[in-house]
Amino acid sequence: MAFVATKDSSFKVILKEGFKIKPGSVFICGFHGLGEVGFLSTAHLTRTLEAERIGFIKSDMLPLFVSMENEKLLLPFELYFYEEKDMVFFVPRFQPHQSEQWGFIERLVDWIVEQKFAEVLLLGGLDSSFKEDEEDMRCVPTSSYADRLEKWSVPLLEEGLFVAGPLALLLAELEIRSAPGIGLLTYATRGRPDPRSAATMLEKINEVYGVSANVDQLIEESKEIERLEKMRKSIEADADPSQMYL
C-alpha cells in the first residue's frame, strides 16, 4: 500500500494515498492521562465503530514499539476515519516523548488547522476526589467554541483546577489559533485505568454525535478491575498488624 506524507519534516502526518480529510470533519483524540480515560475512550471508539485506519504520524522520538491486534500490526501513533459521521480519530498508544511534546503538539495543530476541521474534541480524566456534585464530567472549551457548549450540557471546569500534559498543550495551541475545540473530562480513579469513566465518556459522545459506540466491554473491564482492587485492599488489610486483634 502506498502512502503520501502531508509535510516534509521531522514530524509527518502520513495518509493513505489518495485519502483526503473532508473539510468540516470532527477531530477526536485522547492521551494516557489520569485513569487513561482519553486513550481508552478514543481507542474503543475506533474499535466499536469499526473505523478505518487511514494513516500514521512519524516524529523524531517515535516510540520503539509495535504490537499486534486482530492480526494487524499496530504503530505508536495512528489515524482512523469513521465515514458515517466524518470523524477522524488520533490514537496515541504512547505519550509523545516529553522532550518533543511542544513541537509535536504544535505541528499536530498546524495540520488540524490546515485540514479545516469543524471542531476538535479532546478526551481526558479528572481526579474523582474533586467531585462535589452529581455531574459525571467537566469541560474546558476554547473561546471560539463558546457558542457550541449548549449541546454538551456539561459544566465548565472549576476555577483553580488544572488540565495537564499533552491535552493541555493541545488546548493552549487551539486557543492561540482561535480554533474551535473542547476538552471533555470525566471523573476517574487515580492510579489505575478506569474503563467505567471511559464508558461514561462514550455515552456522552453517543448522545451528542448520534453514534452507537457499545460500552459493554468497558463496563465488564471496569468490574474486573474493581474486583481485583477490592481483593488487593482486602489482602493488604489482612496483612496489616494494626488490623489484627487478640
Q: What is the pLDDT of residues 106-159, one digit of tens each?
A: 999 999 999 999 999 999 999 998 898 889 999 999 999 999 999 999 999 999
pLDDT along the chain (246 residues), means of 10: 54 94 97 91 93 94 87 93 97 89 93 97 94 92 95 94 93 97 95 90 95 88 68 60 47
Amino acid in the structure at residue 240: D
Cα→Cα distances 153→5, 107, 161, 211, Å: 39, 31, 20, 17
Domain count, the chain: 1
Distance of CA 125 to the CA centre of its chain: 9
- DSSP code for 156: B
Domain assignment present for residue 38? The answer is yes
pTM: 0.88
What the block records as the C-alpha cell of 70 is 486482530
Question: What's the CATH number where 184 sits?
Answer: 3.40.50.10900
Residue 245 lies in a domain: no
Host domain of residue 189: 3-240
CA distances from 180 to 137, 140, 172 (A): 20, 11, 11
